[in-house]
Amino acid sequence: MNVKLNDNVLVIAGKDKGKTGKVVSTSPKAGRVTVQGVNLQKKHKKARKATDVSGIIEREGAIDVSNVMVICDKCGKATRVKHTFVETDGKMKKVRVCKCGNVLDKTYKKQAKAAAKPAAEEAPKKRTRKRTAAKTEAPAETPAEEKKD
């Protein structure tokens, strides 16, 4: 399956053709995905107890994965997914790539950004509480002491 969780997709077939949304759940064995705000189905809920409220609930239904296309973050177009192998940390990793060359896998992007940063950056400043920082600094003379002189 070329579509993964949290991908932005465009519906290309069916009653919701042209709508876009975020993938909420996937079912690879069945070849179906659930997209936020697409294929809304109404379910009638009956009150089972005296305190329950009956009503009509709208929820997203699953649609076939062949009816959606992944939207690239960089170019903003719906695209077919291409798979390539990229070397990270001496290991070959299979990643999804757009036609424009942008990597669609978010986990790989994070790893690539972390590897690109130089390791010899300055250490982050040590965080101290405001109270302790005020005590360690040399206290300036207060205005009351200046008036006494």
Q: In the chain, where does DSSP find H-type helix?
A: 106-116, 130-136, 143-148
pLDDT(136) > 80:
no
Q: What was the pLDDT predicted at 108?
A: 65
Q: What does pLDDT average to over the chain?
A: 84
End-to-end CA distance of the chain: 82
Domain total of the chain: 2
More confident residue, 144 or 12: 12
- Domain presence at residue 110: yes
pLDDT(115) > 60:
yes
- Domain presence at residue 134: no
Same domain, 65 and 5: yes
- Domain presence at residue 87: yes
Same domain, 38 and 63: yes
**Contact criterion met (CB below 8 Å) for 84 and 103:** no
Average pLDDT over residues 56-65: 95
- Domain presence at residue 132: no
pLDDT(54) > 90:
yes
- Domain presence at residue 65: yes
Running DSSP on this structure, what letter comes out for residue 137?
A: S
pLDDT(122) > 70:
no
Which range of residues forms the domain containing residue 95? 79-115
Q: Please state whether the predicted TM-score (pTM) of the whole model is above 0.75.
A: no
Q: What percent of the chain has pLDDT over 70?
A: 76
pLDDT (tens digit per residue) in 82-104: 888 888 778 888 899 998 888 88
Same domain, 92 and 63: no
Same domain, 30 and 95: no
